[in-house]
Structure 1
Amino acid sequence: MGIEHTSTSGLWAGVDVGTQSLRVLLVDDHGAVVGRGAGRLDSHRSGTRHEQDPEQWWQVLGHAGRAALADAGRVLPRPAGLVRGMAICGTSGTFLLAGADAPAEALTPALMYDDARAADGWAGPGQPSWPLAKLAWLAEHGSAPVRAGLAAGRVRLEHCPDFLAARLVGHRVATDWSHALKTGYDPAALAWPAASAVPAGVLPDVVRPGTLLGHLDADGAAHTGFAAGTPVRAGMTDGCAAQIAAGALVPGSWNAVLGTTLVLKGVTADRLEDPAGAVYSHRHPDQGWLPGGASSVGAALLDRRFPAADRARRDAAAARFEPAGGIVYPLAGRGERFPFVRPDAEAFEAGDLVDDDDRYAAVLQAVAYVEKLAYAHLRRLGARVDGPYYVTGGATRSRYWCQLRADILGHELILPASAEPAFGMAVLAAAGEGPLVSAAGRMIRPGTVVTPRPGATGRFADAYARFLDALVERDWIDAGLAGYAKDVPLVGASGGAA
C-alpha cells in the first residue's frame, strides 16, 4: 500500500524513545504518515538495576531522523524543509544526571523507569522506582563526582527528552510537566515542592507540553538531517503520547493500552483523589486532567504459560469457553498496582479449568474483568467513564481478544488508525502552544469499531461476579467496591462517588 499524502504545507516530527527502540514519524497536517525511521536501543540489566546509554539515544536519533526523511523523500521533494516542528516522548521516570558545564554530557547512565535499586529502605514520597528515590540512592552510592555534584547542586537531572532536546538546540532546556510528575513535581501548584530535599539547581525548570524549547542548531541539524532552525517543543511521557495518538482527549474518553501489562489513561475535568494510590493524574496540556493507572496483568502471563503458542489457534479454541470453567488472576510476577494496590498479590486459579484451552480463555477473560473493575473504580472516584473507549497495544492484534473485551465491558471499543506514541508527539508538535484538541481533531483519523455481541455481556456477568468475590475473599478489594462494580453498567456512566 502506498503512502497517502494530502498536504505539503507542513510536516511534524514525532520522536518516541522506548525501551527497545527509538522511532521517528513524519506526519502531515491531516494525519498522513509520510516518513518512518527507527533504530534499536540496548538495555543493560543487572539484578534490580536497569540502565541505558544516553549516547546511544543520540546516535539512534540521528540515524532514525535521516531514515524518516529518506522515507518521506520518496513522495516529497526536500522534506527536511517542510518540517515545522518536533516533540519527543520518553518512558515515564527515566532520567540521568548531566554536568553543569556541558548540559548534554551525561555523568550517569540513564536510570530506567523500572530500575529498582532504591527499593530497600525508601520511605519518601512516590514509589521506589521513581526518580526521587533513585536520586537519594545516587547521593549515597553514586560515584564521587556525582555525590559531590548532588550535594553542591552542580549537577542537573534530565529526563530522556530533555537530554535529546538540549543536544538538538545546543543549550539547556526546561522539562515538561508530564515527565516531571514522577520526579515529584506538583502539577496542581505548578511547582516543585518547597520542602524538597533535592538541592536547588538539580531539578529543571518546568513548562507546559508543547512549549517552544529552542531551535535546531547547526550541530543538531547536521546530526539528524532536519533543517537548522526547526522548532523543538516540550513533549510528554510515552503513555500520554499514546493517549494523544488514540484521540482520548475529552472528558469521558479513555485509552486502554494492553500489551505485557494493562494501562488505562483518560480525561477528567477535575483531578481524581484516590486514597489507595492506584490512580495518579497528569495535567492536560489544554485544561483538566489525565488520570490513569498501570495494572500488572496483561499478556505477560500468556507468554509465560503458553510460550511459542499459535495464538490464532488458541483464540479459536478459547471461544468454546465463554465463560471459562474457572477464575484466574493473571499476574506474571508478584504485586498489583491498579485498580487496587497489593504488593503481595500473586497469580491464582480457582474453579474447574478442564484443559489449557480453558485456562487460556480464563486468562483472556480475567484481563477484561480487571479492565472492567478499573473503570468501576475510576467511576467511583468521580470520573466519567461513558466513553469513547480506545484500545491500543500489542494485544489488539488479536481481534478475538478485542471482541471479548467489548463483550465483557458491554461497551464498543475503537482501534485507532494510528496509535504510536511518536504519532502523538507529531500531533503535539503541530499544536504547539495552541489547543491540543484542535490539532488532534485535524490529524487523528477514524478507527475501527468493535461492538459487543448481542447478549454477550450478560453471559459473562456471573463469572465476573465470582471474580470480584474471589478478590474480596483475599482482601484485595473491599465488598463495597465489589458490589459497586457488579451493579453499575459502564454504558451511560457519567461519574459520581458512591
Structure 2
Amino acid sequence: MQRIIGVDIGTSLTKAVVFDHTGVSVAQASAPSQVRHLPGGAVEQDFEQVLGTVASVVRDVTAQLDGPVDALALTGQGDGVWLRDADGFSVRPAISWLDGRASALLTEWQRSGVTREVFRRTGSGMFPGCAGPILAYLDEHEPSSLDRAVVAGYCVDAVLQRLTGAITVDVSDASLPFLDPRTRQYDADAIAACGLSHRTSLLAEPAKPYSVFHLDREGAELLGLPEGLPVTGGPFDLPACAIGAGVRRPGDGILTAGTTLACQVLSTSAEFDPEGEPAGMLLCTPDEGLYLRGMPAMVGTAGLDWACRMLGIEVATIGELLSASAPGANGVQALPFLSSSGERAPFVDAAARAQFTGLSLNTTRADLVRALCESIAYAARHCFESAGLTGTLYANGGGVRSAEWTQIFADVLGRDVVIPADPGVGARGAVLVAARALSDPFDEDVWAANARTVTVQPHIADVYERGYAHYLDSLDAARQRWSR
C-alpha cells in the first residue's frame, strides 16, 4: 500500500495527513501561518514562513510513521498572487485572496465592462483578491515587483517550485481568471481586457493532468525526505475538498464551511451563460471533461469568529447559543457580508457589507449568533442555486464540527448533508489525485464510505423558506444601497 503525505496549505493553518488504505488518517500534524492585515485593505503572507509550516508538518507526520513514505501530495489556498524569481524566492510578500487593495479598480472594471468581458471568455467572475485585478493594480502602483518576478502564481505552485524546482501551475488554480476551461489554455483576449498582455510571460504553463514532479536536493533537505521522492502539486483546496469528500457524480456538490464559504457543484459541461451574473468560478479538475462550478462566498467561519470577538464568547459555546434561540432567531435577520473586500459569490460587489435587523431590547446574544449562522446558510443556498446543485450534498470544514450549525445548513438547504468522518478532506483529495497520478489508485468507494449524514427536519421547513425569501429581499435592497 502506498503511503502518501497529503499537505493542505491553508490561509491560517497548514495540515499534513497520512491515510491508510481505507481512508482513515494514521498520522496528522498542523502548524499556524501568519496573515498580515495592512492599511488600505491589503492582506499579505510571508512565503518563507508559510514554507516553514510545510516543512514542520511534514517532518512531524514522518516522525509518527514506522516506515518510509512513497510520495508527497500538495494542495492549499487559491487565488491571490505569489510573485517569485527563477529560484522560487519571493520578490515581495505574497498577496492573499483576502486582499482588498484592488477593490476600487474592480469596481471600475465592473462599470466599464471588463469583468463581463472576462466572464464571457472564461466563465469566471473576478473579485478584488484574484490575480486579474491584483496584477493590474501592481502594474500601475508597483511595477518594479512585476519587473523582478519570473512567475506570478499561487500558493501551491510556489511551494512546489521550492521543493522541486518546477515552474508550473495546476489547471484548477489557473482557471481564475485567465484560463479558457474548454481548451485549458490562457485566453489572450481575457488577459488583454485586464490590460496585462505585456505581463503574459509571468503566467506559468498549466501542468498536464496528473503530472508528477520530484523533490530536488533543496526540497529534500527542507522536508527531511529522500531526494527524487514523487510530488504532486494540486488541485488547490476547493476542488481537492470535493474530490476528498466523494463528489464524483454530475450534480453532486460540496459545502466547505471554512474561513470562506465555498459551494461547488460537479458538471460534465464547461458551458455557461455568458450573460449571467459575472461571479463564481468555472474550475478545471484533474479529469478532462469534468468541471466544478464554484461559488465561494467570502465569509464562512470567519463571520462566527468575528461574532465571538464582538460578543465576548468562546467558540466552544456556539452550540449552546444556537440551541438557546429558536429557528428564525426570534425575528433577528442578518446579511453576512463581513469581509472588508466585499463579496465574490454568487455576486461580486466590493462594497458589500453586513447588517443585522429586527433587534430589540429583548434580543439576546444567542439570537445574534443564530441570525448570523442562518444568514450564512442562506448565502450557501443562494450559491448552490446559482451553481446548479441537484445531487448529493457533502460538507466539510470547521463549521460542520458544530452539530447545531450543520443542522441549520441542512434545514435551510432542504437536503441531507453527508460529512466525511475523518478530518483533512483537502489533504485526502490531494492524496487521491496523487495515487491516480502514480497509477496505483485507492478504492474511492471505500474511502467515501467513512461518513455520517445529517438529515433535514421537515417540520421547520416553512420557517426557513420565509427566512430565505426575506434574505433575498434584504439583499436586493442592500445591493441598491451599495451601488449608490
- Which residue of structure 1 lines up, in the alignment, with residue 334 of structure 2? 328
Shift of 1:350: 4.1
Work out whether residues 328 and 467 of structure 2, in 8 Å CA contact, stay in contact via their aligned partners in 1: no
**Equivalent residue for 2:321?**
314
Partner of residue 165 from structure 1, selected from 156, 160, 169? 160
From the superposition, tell whether residues 417 and 476 of structure 1 become closer, same or farther in structure 2 (CA, over 3 Å): farther
Partner-residue secondary structure (3-state), 1:15: strand
Residue 294 (structure 1) aligns with: 296
Instruction: Single out whichever of 462-471 and 442-451 deviates more from structure 2.
Output: 462-471
Per the TM alignment, residue 68 of structure 1 is displaced from its structure 2 partner at its CA by: 0.8
**1:142-193 alpha-carbon deviations (Å, 9 max, x no partner):** 374x45446xxxx222322222222222x33321111112252222221112
Q: Report what 1:441 is aligned to.
A: 445
Structure 2 CA distance for aligned equivalents of residues 359 and 329 of structure 1? 12
Task: Look up the match of 2:80.
Answer: 94
Distance 1:291 1:253 in 2: 11
CA change 1:159–1:465 in 2 (3 A) is closer
**SS where residue 257 of structure 1 aligns?**
strand
Q: Which runs of 5+ in 2 are unaligned?
A: 119-125, 192-196
* Aligned partner (choices 363, 373, 381) of residue 355 of structure 1: 363
Q: CA deviation at 1:208?
A: 3.8
Aligned residue among 409, 416, 422 for 1:412: 416
More off after superposition, 243-252 vs 125-134 = 125-134
RMSD: 2.8
Deviation at 1:314, TM superposition (A): 0.7
Question: If the length of structure 1 is used for normalisation, what is the TM-score?
Answer: 0.81
Distance in 1 (alpha carbons) for counterparts of 2:319 and 2:243? 30
Structure-2 residue corresponding to 1:339: 346
Distance 2:202 2:339 in 1: 35
Corresponding position of 1:279: 280
281-290 or 294-303: bigger deviation: 294-303
Is the contact made by 2:171 and 2:285 (CA closer than 8 Å) also made in structure 1? no
Instruction: Name 2:121's counterpart in structure 1.
Output: none
Distance of 1:358 and 1:416 partners within structure 2: 29
Aligned length: 446
Please tell me whether residue 185 in structure 1 is matched to residue 179 in structure 2. yes
Distance 1:162 1:253, change over 3 A: same
CA distance in 2: counterparts of 1:225 and 1:200, whole angstroms: 36
**Residue 387 (structure 1) aligned to one of 386, 391, 397:** 391
Q: Distance in 1 between matches of 2:299 and 2:153?
A: 30
Matched to 1:411, the amino acid is R
Distance change in 2, residues 1:332/1:219 (3 Å): closer
Which of residues 393, 402, 405 in structure 2 aligns to 1:401?
405
- Return the match for 1:463 from 453, 463, 467: 467
- Alignment of 1:56 with 2:55, yes or no, is no
Q: Give the Cα–Cα distance (whole angstroms) in 2 for the partners of residues 358 and 121 of structure 1.
A: 38
Measured after TM superposition, the shift of residue 230 of structure 1 is 1.4
The AA in structure 1 aligned to 2:13 is S
Q: 1:419 to 1:244 in 2, by over 3 A?
A: farther
Corresponding position of 2:122: none
Task: Report deviation, 1:255.
Answer: 0.9
CA pair 366-201 structure 1, distance change in 2 beyond 3 A:
closer
| Alpha carbons of structure 1 residues 327 and 55: separation in structure 2 relative to 1, 3 Å | closer
- 1:356-404 residue CA offsets vs partner (Å, 9 max, x unmatched): 23333333323223322333333xxxx3x23211122222122112122
CA contact (8 A) 2:395 2:417 kept: yes
Tell me, yes or no, if structure 1 residue 429 matches structure 2 residue 434.
yes
**Which residue pairs with 2:91 in the alignment?**
107
The answer to whether the 8 A contact 1:210-1:235 is kept is: no
CA pair 400-199 structure 1, distance change in 2 beyond 3 A = closer
TM-score (norm 2): 0.83
Change (3 A) 1:456 1:10: same
Q: Quick check: 1:20 aligned with 2:12?
A: yes
Which secondary structure does the structure 2 equivalent of 1:312 belong to? helix
Counterpart for residue 105 of structure 2? 121
Structure 1 residue 317 displacement after superposition: 0.5
Q: Within 5 A, what are the aligned runs for 1:228-307?
A: 228-271=227-270, 272-273=272-273, 275-286=276-287, 287-302=289-304, 303-304=306-307, 305-307=310-312
Question: Structure 1: which 5+ runs fail to align?
Answer: 1-8, 478-498
Residue matched to 1:373: 382
Note the C-alpha offset of 1:69: 0.6
Would the alpha carbon gap of residues 439 and 149 (structure 1) be closer, same or farther in structure 2, given more than 3 Å must change? farther
How far residue 407 of structure 1 moved from its aligned partner, in angstroms, is: 2.2
Measure the CA separation in 1 of the matches of 2:429 and 2:100.
29
Does the CA contact (< 8 Å) of 1:340 and 1:476 recur in 2?
Answer: no
Asked if the contact 2:410–2:454 (Cα under 8 Å) also holds between the matched residues in 1, the reply is: yes
Aligned residue identity for 1:175: V
> 1:176 is matched with which residue?
170
Give distance in 1, aligned partners of 2:94 and 2:470. 44
Worse-superposed segment, 224-233 or 458-467: 458-467
In 2, Cα distance between equivalents of 1:108 and 1:415: 39
CA contact (8 A) 1:12 1:27 kept: yes
Q: 1:446 to 1:369 in 2, by over 3 A?
A: same
- Give the aligned residue type for 2:251: G
**Corresponding residue number in structure 1 for 2:23:** 31
What does residue 139 of structure 2 align with? 139
> How far did 1:26 drift?
1.8
Query: As a proportion of its length, which structure holds more helix?
Result: 2
